[in-house]
Structure 1
Amino acid sequence: MRDEEMNAPATGTGIAAEMLHWYDRNARDLPWRIPPGDAQTPDPYRIWLSEVMLQQTTVAAVKDYFHRFTARWPTVADLAAADDGAVMGEWAGLGYYARARNLLKCARVVTQAHGGQFPDSYDGLLALPGIGPYTAAAISAIAFDQPETVLDGNVERVMARLYDIHTPLPAAKPALRDRAAQLTPAHRPGDYAQAVMDLGATICTPKSPACGICPLREPCAARQAGTANDLPRKTPKNPKPTRHGTIYLAQRTDGAWLLERRPDKGLLGGMLGWPGSDWGENAVQAPPIDADWVTLPAEVRHTFTHFHLVLTVRYAEVPPETVPRQGVFVAAHDFRPSDLPTVMRKAFDLWRGA
């Protein structure tokens, strides 16, 4: 049996120093990041915004959203004063829409209860809406240079390989956190945290890690054991169930579209969408309007975190005097498909291509 406690590849001080040296030469250029050696002070608002956006999302997907948000709402006070619908519209496509609702709640608490200044401690940040342990640690380290342990998926992978830890995730998280904490330096903890994340994103990748150019190749226990490609191990997930539903795309002859804003709580909460049924095994609901509905020949297929979704799409054109039982008509000049969440935009694209 592997004794993971014996897998101590090198001193934490030496590894942290090596990582900072590597980061100084290889740091990724990211719009929310202050480059190493730059005298600017990190803006906690930009760090917070980027970390919330990056949850369950890739850097490549986030960049454009970050630029649009910070151009439209350059400070936390600007975001706090924003219209909820405008923020949800800008967020559309990023997924996990509870993050956008919590983004507004947090911005308003920071503005109203903290004078527009983010707390500079882990505990103070953790008390804010929508900020969990990882995000609080990341902001503390990167924005305020506090020696907090930042543990995202990239860091977990680096730690699992560095120490050759074979316990599957998520059971391995406490051990990986302990290892990461032992390595976190008091000097430049924010740069160190970003260095390990960059290493996981660019070199210690999930598949085919580039061990030959890794700054930690010598102390890495998994490289020595030949197990790097197998780590981290993960407990197999149960198959996702498939849910079904129907959505209705109704357009008036003057171009207006029938839309509804979903309840704040629940999946896609607060987002604009097409009226339709609940999502389940045999979800059925009457159309929002009496009309000559046409069922599109193809279905919308979309995958959420916990289930697959298959939607039947029905379309109807109705006269201007039509009064819906569900939703409201939005004039053509006020309708932006980009404001729709991805699954709803798929339905619009399906109709447009039919």
Structure 2
Amino acid sequence: MIDEGLYCSLRQLLEEGFFHADPHPGNLVATEGGSLAYFDFGMMGDIPRHYRVGLIQMLVHYVNRDSLGLANDFHSLGFVPEGTDLLAVADALRFSFGDVRRQSNDFQGVMNHLYDVMYEFSFSLPPDYALVIRALGSLEGTAKALDPEFKVIESAYPFVIGRLLADPSPDMRKILRELLICDDGSIRWNRLERLIAAISEQSSESSSASGADSSENANGSPEWRSFDMHSVIAATEDLFDFILSRKGWRVRVFLVQDIVNASDVFLQEATFPYVYAKVGKIGDLNPERSKMIRRLVNTVQSFRQAINLAPDAWSAMLIRTLLKPESQKFVLDVFLALANHSSYKIPETFWLFMSRFLNYLDKQDIL
């Protein structure tokens, strides 16, 4: 029922824009059919689309701890007075983020992060945004009465990601890129890994429960937490298009560097046998390199699982992408970078790899 209430509130806030601003226990009742009914519509809020997009963007910038991006969000939404030094706001936010004593994933904790900054710079919230804060705070308070460990922001994150993947509008695609790509063009690999893992896990659960006449999947997770695979594929193709465009040149530079570094670690640690093994078997690798290897293996395995859920659609998208001249040029750039790097690394790394790989085969009684 907590998930049902969260879904109702998030859909009202982020999709419809017309929401119940006082969802306390006295205004909610569970029906016999398992639905949630609302009462007392005396306190309702109405937020236009650009405010809803701004709310999602603020969440992404908060998750990224992007203080300057968050300061710009506050300015574009009219929260701070004109003429305010946004760099000073960003510095104050950065200081607040750095206070480990106040780190939190619940809504009240996030607001505690922001209250001092809001007071210092004379923030002025539009009335409907004040109602958003009230609604989320009331929702979290109601949920905590049933589950003291409930955190509304952490629980809402899958819904927000689902909205980013499902909405093809330019502003939502831009927010998705900001979630995965740093300002300097480098990839947030930890976020990408978590996103791919979540897509694979949730979509797999939804697929395993397909055909069941229930609002929950086989593992008890509500259907709204699952990702639509066709939306995921469309978002992935848009992301590829951006990376291959002129605007994505810095991303391509970092990607080439990351691919070269990963290939070097891959060969030096002789990790080929681990790609199809369980992640838990990677513990005997060089500790300095195991983190990269673990991330690589996790991502490859999760991506394979996601592809298996819609192989035809994924294959069609990947073929379309690979046939583009920009893709072929990027593949050539990667090949040349690997060849240049390998010109002095292969004599050492290749034989080390072969030695470890043959040793692995010997232990498996393959030789």
Q: Could you tell me the TM-score, scaled by structure 2's length?
A: 0.22
Return the structure number with greater helix share.
Answer: 2
Q: Could you tell me the TM-score, scaled by structure 1's length?
A: 0.23
